[in-house]
Structure 1
Amino acid sequence: MGEKRVVPGPLKKTLEWDVKMTDKAVKMFDQKYGPLSKYNSIFKGLEISCHGIPWLIVTATFIFLLDSSPFRNLMVNIFLVLIFDIIVVAVVKAIARRRRPERNQNDEMIGSFSVDKFSFPSGHCTRAVMLSLLLPLKYDLFFWFSPVLAGWGAAVSISRVLLHRHHILDVIGGTVIGILQAMLYSLTWLSDESAQGLVNFFLDETQVGASYDV
């Protein structure tokens, strides 16, 4: 058994403050809008809407079923950025190793990985913020839905606290990481030709030699 990690004094005080502020925020919402249980189905819906596994399954399905098209290439980029997000969040959680709030219930829709017992940062938050910024930035069609995407990202982030999944600083950290990921991946976004070449490499043996560039 390894020794228990010692948390530095200033960080420990910050985390304790975060726990108190999170509890106050939840109680304030409860007092103003009524028992949280009334909104549980909404919060769970938001949780499902940004769960990484369904997103991966849906995007992979579209990539496999669609012929060459801009929409298929969009799915390729989304799939890659989702993988990138999962890796980043898993690494940060493994390093931070912050426990989830005591009131968290292990009832998420799909079985969680071992790192999901950790709380910082919120993976739902990184994903929601990243996608709500990245999609309008790269596709004009999504630009007109920017307010809707921003509202969705904000709602997902807030719901993580109200569902007792995360503390406030977990959500703030997730927001910062999501913004940085959107900025980084916007610079490495695959062109239509590159995305199609990548699909050909994995799904079409007759075009394995198709060239693609970032």
Structure 2
Amino acid sequence: MPGSRARSRARDRTDVLNRPEFQSLNQAPRREQGAGEGRGSSGPRRISVRQPSQQDDSAARGSRDSSEGPSAADGCQKDASRWPEQDCMQLNPSFRGIAINSLLAIDISLSKRLGVCAGTHGSRAPLRSMVTLLALSGHALTWLCGTLICLWRSNTLAGQEVLVNLLLALILDLMTVAGMQKLVKRKGPWDFPPGFLDYVAMDIYSFPAAHASRAVMVSKFLLTHLVLAVPLRILLYLWAFLVGVSRVLLGKHHLSDVGCGFALGFLHFSLVESVWLDSSTCQTLISIGTLRWAPLV
């Protein structure tokens, strides 16, 4: 008996699988272990031996996880749930999305190429001055002040009726465009900071182009309610178009902004024509504005 025990101990020492680095090979899978414990089987159960170094590493990891607290676990969960959504690539984009993105890219590229007066180059200084003056002719402050001066100097009821409706159309255009710009918040192609006159006219963002909308609305209004010769009518159409183009040349708006501004100007004109105020209503508004209105008792 002693001899057999000595031989078994020698065989265990020479067995390679009994070494510490191979102890994991002798462990049963977790499912088998759980099933064996649940069934209460009497079969041989292998005992896993963990080295001191492994125990120290696991203890250090446990203490580090416990010191970080639940915030680290929450952060890991948030990262795991967030990164796949951000890093995913849309392999099959729709035709509509491709078309819209392509049109936006073309719009931005052409707008930057046409912004020849966006800088302050010496060779383009005369052209820049002319374009700036043309854009100033379509500014809201210019038309509001001009309409008020003409209304103050007007002595006829028909002229006052036209000027009051024009003033209301200018206010409608100003408020509508400012609200849409505040809602969309699109920057210009060169992303220049707005100037003082832009803040006064609430023309801070790019979409839609306020100058283009105002120019088209005013030109249609004047062509409808004034008797003008053919050359003047052509010049008025040309002026409205050049005012919109000047904003692109100055790098303030995209081409799509100017196009939408033109369409919005036609819409404002149609709206003002549909709610046209008669002469008596205009006289009442003028009396209220000049503080000479006497309400009926």
- For the superposition of Structure 1 and Structure 2, which TM-score range results when normalised by the shorter chain? 0.7 to 0.9
| TM-score of the pair, normalised by structure 1 | 0.78
User: How far did 1:104 drift?
Assistant: 3.6
- Cα 1:105/1:36, change in 2 over 3 Å: farther
Distance 1:149 1:131 in 2: 9
Q: Does 1:146 align with 2:223?
A: no
Distance 1:132 1:104 in 2: 28
Distance 1:9 1:179 in 2: 29
Could you tell me which residue of structure 1 aligns to residue 211 of structure 2? 124
Could you tell me which residue of structure 1 aligns to residue 162 of structure 2? 74
User: How far did 1:24 drift?
Assistant: 3.2
User: How far did 1:171 drift?
Assistant: 0.3
Distance 1:19 1:98 in 2: 12
User: How far did 1:207 drift?
Assistant: 4.5
User: How far did 1:139 drift?
Assistant: 3.1
| TM-score of the pair, normalised by structure 2 | 0.58
Residue among 87, 105, 120 paired with 1:16:
105
Q: Does 1:182 align with 2:293?
A: no
Could you tell me which residue of structure 1 aligns to residue 283 of structure 2? 196
Aligned to 2:128, what secondary structure does the other structure show?
A: helix
Contact 1:202 1:208 (8 Å CA) reproduced:
no
Could you tell me which residue of structure 2 aligns to residue 89 of structure 1? 177
Higher relative contact order at CA 8 Å, sep ≥6: structure 1 or structure 2? 1
Could you tell me which residue of structure 2 aligns to residue 102 of structure 1? 190
User: How far did 1:177 drift?
Assistant: 0.5
- Cα 1:191/1:55, change in 2 over 3 Å: same
CA shift digits 1:46-70 (9 cap, x unpaired) = 1111110121122223333444432
Q: What is the number of equivalent residue pairs in this alignment?
A: 197
- Cα 1:40/1:196, change in 2 over 3 Å: same
- Letter aligned with residue 125 of structure 2: S
Aligned-residue sequence identity (percent) comes to: 27
Segments of structure 2 that go 5 or more residues without pairing to the other structure are 1-95, 118-122
User: How far did 1:106 drift?
Assistant: 4.0
Residue among 237, 242, 248 paired with 1:155:
242
Segments of structure 1 that go 5 or more residues without pairing to the other structure are 1-7, 30-34, 210-214
- Letter aligned with residue 182 of structure 1: F
Bigger shift: 198-207 or 93-102?
Answer: 198-207
User: How far did 1:18 drift?
Assistant: 1.0
User: How far did 1:74 drift?
Assistant: 2.1
Contact 2:112 2:251 (8 Å CA) reproduced:
no
Contact 2:165 2:272 (8 Å CA) reproduced:
no
Bigger Rg, structure 1 or 2:
2
Distance 1:73 1:170 in 2: 32
Contact 1:136 1:143 (8 Å CA) reproduced:
no
Counterparts of residues 57-68 of structure 1 (less than 5 Å): 57-68=145-156
Contact 2:173 2:213 (8 Å CA) reproduced:
yes
- Cα 1:43/1:174, change in 2 over 3 Å: same
CA shift digits 1:73-122 (9 cap, x unpaired) = 222111100000011101111121100122646446x2515953310000
- Cα 1:188/1:144, change in 2 over 3 Å: farther
